[in-house]
């Protein structure tokens, strides 16, 4: 009987772990489906960096333009996702162009989860 109780507990823990991981994957960021327009990003002053947990990469400021207004922010990225000279793009919300996510690969805009993480809020800035 004791073995049956242990087996039942193991099954409950296994299913609980599965559902916890599934919930994490589904809710790991904001809904990005409103970010339907792709724009080209101008990278400003990329600086090489190293972090013992993430490895080599870059920190940089960036800007993008929509309807004559420039928006931007700053970011950091591992060098296996992006290196200076490589195109960088963003998916933006056409009704609120400051809302965006940066895309480092060939991600499609307009999906619920374009990239992991949260939607960024760009700030107005002068043209680079």
CA angle (56 as vertex; 92, 77 as ends), nearest 5: 5
Q: Give pTM, 2 decimals.
A: 0.72
Distance from C-alpha of 121 to C-alpha of 45, rounded to nearest angstrom: 20
CA Rg value for the chain: 20
128 residues of the chain, pLDDT tens digit each: 566 554 554 544 454 444 443 334 444 458 999 999 999 999 999 999 998 887 899 999 999 999 999 999 999 999 888 999 999 999 999 999 999 999 988 899 999 999 878 899 999 999 99
- Tell me the C-alpha to C-alpha distance, in Å, between residue 26 and each of 18, 29, 31, 59, 100: 12, 8, 10, 28, 20
CB 49 within 8 A of CB 59: yes
Could you tell me if 114 and 101 are in contact, meaning their C-beta atoms sit under 8 angstroms apart?
yes
Two structure tokens written together for 60? 């940089």
- Counting every residue, how long is the chain? 128
Q: What pLDDT sits at residue 27?
A: 46
Q: Are 81 and 105 in contact (CB under 8 A)?
A: yes
């Amino acid at each position: 009987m004791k073995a049956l109780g242990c087996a039942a507990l193991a099954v409950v823990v296994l299913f609980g772990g599965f559902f916890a991981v599934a919930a994490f994957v589904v809710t790991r960021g904001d809904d990005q489906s409103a970010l339907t327009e792709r724009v080209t990003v101008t990278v400003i002053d990329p600086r090489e960096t190293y972090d013992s947990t993430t490895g080599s990469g870059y920190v940089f400021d960036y800007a993008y333009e929509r309807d004559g207004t420039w928006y931007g922010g700053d970011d950091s990225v591992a060098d296996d996702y992006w290196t200076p000279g490589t195109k960088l793009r963003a998916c933006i919300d056409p009704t609120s162009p400051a809302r965006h996510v940066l895309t480092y690969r060939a991600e499609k805009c307009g999906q619920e989860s374009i990239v992991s993480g949260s939607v960024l809020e760009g700030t107005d800035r002068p043209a680079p």
